C-alpha cells in the first residue's frame, strides 16, 4: 500500500487506540501500523510515511494527554480531521491459572492507574504498581512473566495469550477517552453544524488581564469553549501556551472572526483544524444566542459597508 493509505496509531497491538482506530469507516481499507509512542505515530505523518495517525488526546478522568498536546503545539504543523470517543473499562489480565490472591505486582499505562485506583485499594491493597509504555505493553510483560497482572482492554487477552481474571473495572462510571485522527495540513473537514475547532494560543506579555483578553475574543462572539488547558512552552517558568477546543467551525462567521481577533493579539496562533464533534448530532446543538449567527454577522457587515458609503 502507498503511504497515503497507511494509518499509524499508538501501539502495540491490543491498545485502546487500536480499538478506536478500528471504529473508523475507512479502517477496513487502510494498512494499520502500530507506533511505539505518540511522537513516533505523528512523525510518520510528518515524514510522509503515513496518511494519518490516531492518538489519544483527552481522558474524562485524567484530562489532557500531555504527549499529544505538546506534539501538536510544536514541530511541523499537523491538523485534526476527526475525533473518536471510546468508552473505557479495564480488565485484569493474568497468565492462565493465576488467582487474584497470587497477584502481587500489576502494571499498565500511567493514565490507567487513576482510573482503577479505588478498585486496586479495595481488591489488591498490597499489590505493587509499575507503569508500562502502554496497557498492551503491560500485557506483553505479564506474558513474559515480568508482572503478575496488567490492566488493559479485555480484547487484548487473546493477542497476548492471557486470561481476563476480572472485567469491567473502572472507578468512574461512563469513563471515556477521546482520540483524534491527525494528518498533514489541508482543507478542514466539511462543516456539519455540530463541529469543534482546536487551537494552540500563545500569550504575549505576562500582565494582568492577558488571559482575559484572549477569552473575550471568544465570549463577545458567542463561541463556547469546551476545553482549555495550559502547557509550558519550555522557555522558562511561567511561560505557557494554551490548548483550546471551541464549539463551531472555522467557516462559521463567529469562529472565523474570533480567530482573526486572536491572531491580532497573540504572538502566535496554531490552527489545529475544524472537524465534526463525536457523538453530537446537529439537531442537539444549543441554538446560538442573538447576534452570533452567520446571517447576523453578514447583516452587520452590510450595515457597516452602507455607513462607509453614506447609505446607512
pTM of the shown model: 0.89
CA dihedral angle for residue 174, residue 180, residue 181, residue 184, rounded to 10 degrees = 180
Distance CA 57, CA 10 (A): 11
Mean pLDDT of the chain: 93
DSSP code string of 241-278: EEEEEEES-TTSHHHHHHHHHHHHHSSEEEEEEEEEPT
**Average pLDDT of the residues in 291-305:** 94
Residue 203's closest CA among 248, 259, 241, 148? 241
Note the pLDDT of residue 122. Answer: 95
Q: Which tens digit of pLDDT belongs to each residue from 196-233? A: 999 999 987 777 888 899 999 999 999 999 999 999 88
Query: Across residues 97-110, what is the average pLDDT?
Result: 94
List strand residue ranges (DSSP E) for 14-127, in order: 31-35, 52-59, 63-64, 79-87, 90-94, 105-108
pLDDT at 230: 92
Amino acid at each position: 500500500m502507498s503511504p497515503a493509505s497507511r494509518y499509524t496509531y499508538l501501539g502495540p497491538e491490543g491498545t485502546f487506540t487500536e480499538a478506536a482506530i478500528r471504529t473508523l469507516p475507512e479502517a477496513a481499507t487502510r494498512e494499520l501500523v502500530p507506533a511505539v509512542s505518540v511522537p513516533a505515530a505523528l512523525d510518520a505523518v510528518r515524514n510522509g510515511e503515513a496518511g494519518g495517525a490516531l492518538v489519544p488526546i483527552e481522558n474524562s478522568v485524567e484530562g489532557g494527554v500531555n504527549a499529544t498536546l505538546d506534539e501538536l503545539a510544536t514541530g511541523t504543523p499537523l491538523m485534526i480531521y476527526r475525533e473518536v470517543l471510546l468508552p473505557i473499562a479495564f480488565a485484569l489480565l493474568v497468565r492462565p491459572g493465576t488467582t487474584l490472591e497470587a497477584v502481587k505486582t500489576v502494571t499498565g499505562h500511567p493514565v490507567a492507574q487513576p482510573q482503577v485506583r479505588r478498585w486496586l485499594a479495595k481488591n489488591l491493597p498490597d499489590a505493587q504498581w509499575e507503569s508500562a509504555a502502554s496497557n498492551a505493553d503491560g500485557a506483553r510483560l505479564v506474558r513474559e512473566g515480568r508482572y503478575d497482572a496488567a490492566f488493559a482492554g479485555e480484547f487484548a487477552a487473546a493477542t497476548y495469550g492471557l486470561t481476563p481474571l476480572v472485567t469491567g473495572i473502572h472507578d468512574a462510571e461512563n469513563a471515556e477517552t477521546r482520540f483524534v485522527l491527525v494528518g498533514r495540513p489541508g482543507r478542514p473537514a466539511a462543516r456539519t453544524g455540530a463541529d469543534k475547532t482546536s487551537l494552540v494560543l500563545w500569550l504575549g506579555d505576562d500582565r494582568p488581564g492577558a488571559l482575559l483578553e484572549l477569552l473575550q475574543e471568544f465570549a463577545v462572539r458567542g463561541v463556547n469553549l469546551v476545553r482549555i488547558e495550559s502547557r509550558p512552552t519550555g522557555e522558562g517558568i511561567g511561560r505557557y501556551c494554551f490548548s483550546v477546543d471551541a464549539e463551531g467551525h472555522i467557516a462559521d462567521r463567529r469562529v472565523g472572526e474570533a480567530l482573526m481577533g486572536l491572531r491580532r493579539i497573540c504572538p502566535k496562533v496554531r490552527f489545529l483544524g475544524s472537524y465534526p464533534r463525536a457523538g453530537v448530532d446537529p439537531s442537539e446543538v444549543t441554538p446560538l444566542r442573538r447576534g452570533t449567527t452567520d446571517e447576523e454577522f453578514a447583516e452587520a457587515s452590510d450595515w457597516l459597508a452602507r455607513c462607509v458609503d453614506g447609505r446607512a
